[in-house]
Amino acid sequence: MANGGFTKLPGGSVVVALTLPSPLGEGGVRVLVHAVNRQRALTRLRNLGLRAIYLRGNMAPPTPDEVTAVLHHPDGLVWRTAPDRGGELWHPIAALLRPSAPAS
């Protein structure tokens, strides 16, 4: 389960924001997804391997700045650490899910 929310846009699509535990083990990450509806947004994340994701309620909807960030990204799927550490840029989701380099 995740802390998050959504915003419906004038064109009918939605931006879903979720705060999830970091796959890297420390803290959390704020993930933004732009999709045609909430179910499709969650499906996009599940298809990337983030299986146990549910959106219950609208406790932490995306801010206007977050909506702008995800709408201007070509994939419509971005993340950054949570809580925001002041000025951190948004990253493509591939940077979060990429396997770390093996230690030699």
Q: What are phi and psi of 30, to 5 degrees?
A: -100, 120
pLDDT (0 to 100) of residue 65: 92
HSE-up of residue 70 (Cα within 13 Å, Cβ side): 27
Question: For the sheet containing 77-82, what is the strand order?
Answer: 3-8, 14-21, 28-35, 77-82, 91-92
pLDDT tens readout for residues 24-69: 677 788 999 999 999 999 999 899 887 778 888 899 999 999 999 9
How much is the pTM?
Answer: 0.84
pLDDT tens readout for residues 12-25: 999 999 988 876 67
SS3 of residue 51 by DSSP: coil
